[in-house]
Structure formats: structure tokens, C-alpha cells
Chain A
Amino acid sequence: MTTASPPPAALGTQPKPAKRAQKRGQKSSWSGWLFIGPFMAVFALVFLAPIAYSIYLSFFRNQLVGGNGFVGLANYAQVLQDSQFWSSLIRVVLFLAVQVPVMLLIAMLVALALDSGRLYGKSFFRISIFLPYAVPAVVASLMWGFMYGTRFGLVGNINEALGTNIPNPLNPDLILASIGNIVTWEFIGYNMLIFYSALSVIPKSLYEAAEIDGASQFRLVTAIKLPAIRGAMVVAAIFSVIGSFQLFNEPAILQSLAPNSISTYFTPNLYAYSLSFSGQQYNYSATVAIVMGIITMVIAYAVQLRGMRKEG
């Protein structure tokens, strides 16, 4: 919507700076600022300022007794030695290593199935698989939380009806898998859509050429479709990595149902939240958030580098 208006405006101003560039370089650069000024102001206010403020906070420590004081890098040193922080990080890494490949694989299979054109009611499938993504994560977690109930929930009903003995999905051993299940359910549709849209822009001529060469459907997938959507796969992988590191909604909601399975430091985000809102350790919480942000950036960048190198 907004993208439609800037180009004409930019075009209109271009001749002027071009002419006067040498004479009055300074003035022309200011007119540029005029256009991006409103954006920069909002950007600085809502994006840069909070980050700067977090960094500022992370150099202080405010105690209930003794007040506020500058502590330099002490908070960072504490994070690096904080076993609760590392255990939460290891937990999301484990989550990432198992849940993301499973989710992307299923999403890929669904996208390929839809793209193959051999399904009846294609749009129905597409919508119904995408639908969970439209359900807010909070609602989804509550819903699954009820279903996981072993007494009055779906699991309880199944156990009663079939005489089976499904263990409680909310006990400490299974909770991570249960959360993985919710997240997978939520995001398959989203990733499927990324893959599907990438698949649908592959030129039909490639398929025709392959058909002339007598390629099988399987060959079509491995030789044309998969290489063509590598970019989309990298994007989906990066989103998923970031999403896993920021895991918060699902454990936060399920915590009230399974308080002993989900500790206050279950994921790094939950840890930062508890530190800040129950512990009033805003400074330490900001430090945790910054360290986590840096780790996420490094890993997302590594995934991107690796994905792109393969492409080239």
C-alpha cells in the first residue's frame, strides 16, 4: 500500500539534486533526510531506543537493598556462568534440532503433494492445513492444554475408551515433545505456504522439458523442484530458528497446567520474563535478552551463510 507512493515522489526530486549536487551538496542531502525523516524518527523511537536502553540497563544492577549501581560487565559475566540460562538454551537447541526438521519436512511433503496437482479438493486442503496458523498461539496452547489433560481431556477420553495407558503429555519427560507438537501443528501451514508459493513460480517449461526427456515424477522433485526452492527453504529455516529461540507463548500458557514440568527458566525468553516480572531483576533480565539476541543472530546468520553457499 505505501510502496506505491514513494517512487513518484522520489522521481520528482531526483532531477534537482542531480543538477545541484556539486554546488550545493549539503542542501540536497537534507532534502533526502526530509523524506526518510518521519520513518527514521519512528524507527529510532520504537526500534533503536529500546535496544540502546536495554544495553544501558545491562550495565547496572538494582538491588532491593542498596539501590542502583554501575557494575560494568558483571551482569554479562553472571549470565555466562548461569547454569539456569545455559540449561534453558540447551533446551531450545534440542527443541530446534528435533522439531524444526520434522516440521519443515512435513510442510515440504504437503507443499509437494499440493503442487503435484494430483489431489482432489486442493484448495480445501490448502486452507485447512493453513488454518492453524490463523489461530493465535495463546488460544492454540490453551486448546492443546485441554486436549493433553489425562483426566478430562482428550488423552483421558482415549485412555478411557480404548483402555490404553497413554502417559501424561504434560509430565516433565514429555513436555518438550508436547510443546513441539503444538508448534508443529501451528506452523506447518505457514511453512507449507512459503514452499508452495516458491514451487508455483517454477516455469512450466522446465517440467515440459523434463517430460520430453522422460523424467519420472520423483526425478522431477529431486532435480527441479527441490533445487528451485532452496532459497525458500533457507528463509523458512531461519524463521524457524528464530522462532525456536524465542519460544515463549506455549510454555508460558502450559505452565499454569503443568507448573512442575515447566520451570521459570524453561526457555531463555521465559527466564528473562520471570527475572523481570517476578524477580524485579530488570538489569539482569536485559542482559539475558541481549545475550540471547546475539546468540540468535549468530546462529541465524550461520544458517543463512550455509544455505546460500550451497545455492552458489
Chain B
Amino acid sequence: MKSRISPAVLRGSALALAAALTLSACGGGGGNDAGGAAPEEVSADDVQAALETGGDLTVWAWEPTLEKVVEDFEAEYPNVNIDLVNAGTGNDQYTALQNAIAAGSGVPDVAQVEYYALPQFALAESVKDLTGYGAGDLQDTFSPGPWSSVQANEGIYGLPMDSGPMALFYNTDVFEKYGVEVPTTWEEYVEAARTLHEADPNVYIANDTGDAGFATSLIWQAGGQPYQVDGTDVTVNFSDEGSTKFAETWQQLLDEDLLAPISSWSDEWYQGLGNGTIATLSTGAWMPGNFTSGIPQAAGQWRAAPLPQWEEGQTASAENGGSSLTIPAASEQGALAYAFLDYANVGDGVQTRIDGGAFPATSAQLQSEEFLNTEFEYFGGQKANEIFAESAQNVPEGWSYLPFQVYANSIFNDTAGQAYVSDTPLSEGLKNWQDASVKYGNEQGFTV
């Protein structure tokens, strides 16, 4: 499967672990000694000079399409030698990276970091602020969602590599069979859920066992801003309008048992998507690759549609997943590393990665005819990129993740998840999640 999906990544790594005994061997977190006052100033000439001089770069990333990018880059700049290391996916890599930063040695020059985890590194100043490298001029290069995701503390801490504008994937056979219209609002979605489940008790509109990434994305779409971050002053508030909208709508689905109690990426989930018992899936635009590889038996049945709206006539969307490339503060090859970032995420590397199946974060590619006209055989020849690109343009601004989102997401099921299996209302579950996040934040020295 495509590798930049946070929930999948977390679950995958949970499988790979079984290493409780190594606990004590992983000492030290991110040191806070980099006194990052003013961002470094590195001009385009410096970057160009670094490219000509050449050198060795170590890149930590798990994104598979980068391999070809590295090859092309080395061919174009023969003096540069890149060592592409897969130091683990998601959380595994962050742990390794944090340890390397704390130890002060073995830190890579470039590291892949998912959007939701970036604030954590930005806050500790363990990745460089790229404003002085010229990243400040790239505002129009990227679509708004990913661009806002790489900003924190008034700095730009990475260049967006890919993105996950959300869309509604639905099984058109199921909808036709029961004569249900594809929902355009969440209200219609609940209605469709009822009709489908009534017609066949085995059919559910979707699966959901409580997924932090999904819940926060829908709150994002509803215009909610539960997280406000200003340096180390953090506010967590799940009682704003957007969060309430989500909680109220989802509560109906939960109360009437309209969601299949199946976790995403599980065996049952793949089966359900394949045999028509899970009728829709709202997720990021990186999903098509997973459909093709994971659920080949349902080829031709699925289509993409814009995400249902909270208010009729709106076109709001949200991001789900996606990652950036960053330069750790300890790297001594800032200029050269930035040259690689620029090549991979702004320059020729973008097209290389699209050809490899990635979903870009750059406006130019998102608007190019070739990209938009790509026909997806799996979706019955649908030009699904048109929908995804549209979605990418409609992500509400102003969203931010917590500087400790990795941990917060990991305790979602302890708190909010209880609403999925007991009488606890979802709004109260979200409140518990908020309290637990606040508690952790204060323990970690934030003012929450």
C-alpha cells in the first residue's frame, strides 16, 4: 500500500514491534538546545554553488517514488552523492530521528515527516526553518492545504511532498442496486446509511472504529479549529462549532449502528470493501493505489465523488495524510539539502513521482491537463484526479495540529473511541480526549 497514511502506518508498526524489552534502551528525546532565533539566510546562489561543489547527502524517507528521484538527481548533478535510507515508516522513523537528534550524531540531512508530526519537530527547532532558503516565495507553488501544514511558529519547516485532499469513494454497484443517490451532504449521507442498512442488514455505509486522523479531518472540513498553537501556548477545544457538527452527525450513525465495527486496514476491511458490504470510504487522494493493489476483485465498481458537505452548496474539503521533506537542524549541508528538496518537491522530481503513482502537492501539476485527464481504469475510466484537484483547492485555511499530535492520536481510542463501543456520547468522548491531551501537554511543559 501507499505508505504515507498515518493510521496504516501506526498499525503497521504496531505489528512489527513485539519489542517491549527495548524500552529502556531508547533513551533521550529531542534536545532543545538549538536556539533558533533568526532563520539562516541562504541565497539561491549559495544553493547553486553547493550543487556544483557537490557532496554526500543522507536522506531518510520511506516514500517509494523517491528512489527514482534520487537516481535522476544524481545523474543531473554528478558531484552529489545521495544515500537514501529507509529508517522505518512513520512513528518508527520519528523515534530513530529523535534519538539521533538527541545523541547529536547520525542525523540525516533530509528527513521525511508527515504533516501531523511536523509541528513536534518544528517546535523543538530540530528541523531547520526554510524561510531563509527561499521557501517563503513558494506560497503559490503549493496547494493551500499542504502549504499551511508545513508552517508553524511563523516559520516554514519543510517542503510539501505529497498531499491527501479528501474525496468520497463509493461502490456504485451497491448504490444502484438499492436505488440510493450518492450523498452530497452529510445529512444525506446519514439518510443513505439508513436506507442501505435497512435494505440489507449486512450493508453498511462505512466502517469506523474511531480514527483520530479521520475525525480531525472531518472537523477540519466542518470549519472547526480545535487546536490553536502559538509557540508553547496551546489551546485544545473540541466544543467549537465544527467539532460539534461532526459529533452530532456521527452520533446518529453510532446510535443507529450504521457504521461497520471494522478497523481500517484489517482483513475484514479489505473483504468488506471488496464484497459490497462497506459502501463508501472517505479518505485522501492517495487511496486509488491501495484500491488497485488491495481490492482488485472490486475493479470497476468504485467511483470517486467530492466529499459530502456540512452545508448544502458548499465545496469545503480537508486533508487526510501526506508528508513533507525537512532538513534536520543538525545537518551541516543545509544548502545542498535544500537543493534536493527543491528538486524533489518543486522541480523535476514532482513529475517523476506522479508517474510513480504519488499524489502531488504542487498547484502546477494539480492543474495540468495531463494530470487531470488521467483515466483510472479501476474507477471505470473516471477522471478521478479532477475531483481530487478540486478538493485540494478547497481545503479551509487556519488548521493546525498539536505539537504533540503523534501522542494525542495514539490515545484517541482510549477516550473518544469509547463512544464507538459504549453509551458514552461522542461529544463527551471528544471532551475526554481533549482533557487527556491537555494533561499530556502540561506535563510536557506546554501552557495548555
- Mark A residues whose CB is within 8 Å of B: 50-51, 53-54, 57, 62-68, 137-138, 146, 149-153, 168, 171-172, 246, 248-249, 252-253, 255-261, 263-265, 269, 272-274, 276-282, 285-286, 289
Contact = CB atoms under 8 A, between A and B. Distances in A.
B37 interface: no
Contact of A57 (B24, B232, B417, B443): B24
B421 A171 contact: yes
Given A255-B14, A256-B15, A279-B407, 15 more contacts: A63-B445, A64-B123, A64-B444, A65-B32, A252-B14, A253-B15, A257-B266, A260-B418, A260-B420, A264-B411, A265-B414, A273-B20, A274-B410, A278-B91, A282-B28
Given A64-B445, A66-B32, A265-B414, A260 B272 contact: no
A65 B210 contact: no
Nearest to A53: B24
B294 to A, nearest CB: 15
A249 B445 CA distance: 32
10 contacts: A50-B24, A53-B25, A54-B23, A62-B28, A151-B272, A253-B15, A256-B265, A259-B417, A278-B409, A286-B24
Contact of B209 (A259, A264, A269): A259
Interface stretch (B73-81, B177-185, B256-264, B385-393): B256-264
Given A63-B444, A149-B268, A278-B407, A260 B23 contact: no
A66 B210 CA distance: 33
Nearest to B267: A146
Contact of B31 (A54, A68, A256, A282): A68
Interface of B: 11, 14-15, 17-18, 20, 23-33, 91, 95, 98, 120, 123-124, 209-210, 232, 260-263, 265-268, 271-272, 277, 403-404, 406-407, 409-411, 413-414, 417-418, 420-422, 440, 443-446
B443 A63 contact: yes
A171 B209 CA distance: 11
Nearest to B95: A277
Contacts of A265: 414
Contacts of A282: 23, 26-29
A282 B23 CA distance: 8
Given A65-B232, A68-B31, A151-B268, A258 B24 contact: no
A67 B411 CA distance: 23
Nearest to B33: A67
Contacts of B17: 252, 273, 277
Given A65-B446, A68-B31, A263 B266 contact: no
A286 B23 contact: yes
Contact of A264 (B23, B28, B414): B414
Contact of A260 (B14, B27, B413): B413
A222 B20 CA distance: 41
A266 B38 CA distance: 45
Given A151-B268, A259-B209, A263-B414, A249 B18 contact: yes
Contacts of A252: 14, 17-18
Contacts, number: 138
A146 B421 CA distance: 19
Select the residue from A65, A66, A272, A289 with max chain B CB neighbours within 10 A: A65
A54 B265 contact: no
A276 B268 contact: no
Contacts of B265: 256
Given A62-B29, A289-B23, A260 B210 contact: yes
A132 to B, nearest CB: 18
Contacts of B440: 279
B79 to A, nearest CB: 38
A283 to B, nearest CB: 9
A67 B15 contact: no
Contact of A256 (B263, B418, B421): B263
Contacts of A51: 24
A260 B406 contact: no
Given A259-B413, A273-B20, A64 B124 contact: yes
Contact of B29 (A53, A280, A286): A280
A257 B263 contact: yes
B270 to A, nearest CB: 10
Contact of B260 (A53, A151, A269): A151
Contacts of B95: 277
A258 B263 contact: yes
Contacts of B26: 276-277, 282
B364 to A, nearest CB: 37
Contact of B20 (A67, A269, A286): A269
Given A67-B33, A172-B422, A280 B123 contact: no
B24 A259 contact: no
A261 B418 CA distance: 8
A137 B272 CA distance: 27
Nearest to A270: B20
A195 B349 CA distance: 64
A302 to B, nearest CB: 24
A151 B262 contact: yes
B414 A65 contact: no
Contacts of B413: 259-260, 263-264
A47 B137 CA distance: 54
A74 to B, nearest CB: 11
A126 B299 CA distance: 48
A113 B328 CA distance: 64
B403 A64 contact: yes
